[in-house]
């Protein structure tokens, strides 16, 4: 599976594909629970991919993923001050600001069962902003859509 296809997936489908592509094996229950918990708190796909790519297991298996190193390098640039803004726009990369993390957490919550559905990981819909946060109308609209009953 190409890296772009992996990045287009969400939720458990993303985790299953990431394990297949990066570790060349099926995801196990502890790994699934660990990363679902992380994704539900707004962890980016980059952080999951980076953790799997830098794992001892991947080094032992010597799995080669075309484009992975370039993606990891570009995403590291995206997290740097000053050049991060340019890299995110140029390569369409994820941002890691607090609002983006909250939106990812909300999306993951909906992807694993929606609001009010029992699940192992407990998360709550909330947009935690202060007057100092620069919240665009687009972010507020996305939050309203995500908060509406499923």
| Tens digit of each residue's pLDDT (9 = 90 or more) over 28-38 | 999 999 999 99
Q: Are 32 and 66 in contact (CB under 8 A)?
A: no
Q: Is the dihedral of CA 136, 140, 146, 150 positive or negative?
A: negative
Q: Indicate the domain borders of the chain.
A: 3-147
User: CA of 56: how far to CAs of 28, 36, 86, in Å?
Assistant: 16, 21, 32
Q: Write down how long the chain is.
A: 150
How do the pLDDT tens digits run along the chain, 150 residues long? 888 889 888 888 999 999 999 999 999 999 999 999 999 888 999 999 999 999 999 999 998 999 999 999 999 998 888 888 898 888 888 888 888 888 888 888 777 765 444 444 444 444 555 445 555 656 666 666 665 554
CA distance 92 to 81: 16
């Amino acid at each position: 599976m190409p890296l772009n296809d992996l990045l287009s997936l969400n939720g458990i489908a993303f985790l299953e594909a990431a394990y297949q592509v990066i570790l060349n094996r099926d995801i196990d229950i502890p790994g699934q629970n660990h990363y679902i918990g992380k994704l539900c708190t707004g962890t980016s796909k980059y952080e999951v991919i980076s953790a799997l790519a830098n794992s001892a297991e991947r080094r032992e298996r010597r799995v080669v993923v075309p484009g992975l190193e370039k993606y990891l390098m570009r995403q590291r640039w995206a997290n740097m001050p000053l050049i991060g803004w340019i890299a995110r726009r140029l390569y369409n990369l994820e941002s890691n600001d607090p609002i983006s993390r909250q939106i990812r957490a909300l999306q993951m919550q909906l992807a694993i069962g929606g609001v009010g559905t029992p699940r192992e990981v407990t998360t709550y819909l909330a947009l935690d902003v202060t007057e100092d946060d620069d919240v665009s109308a687009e972010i507020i609209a996305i939050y309203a859509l995500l908060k509406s009953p499923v």
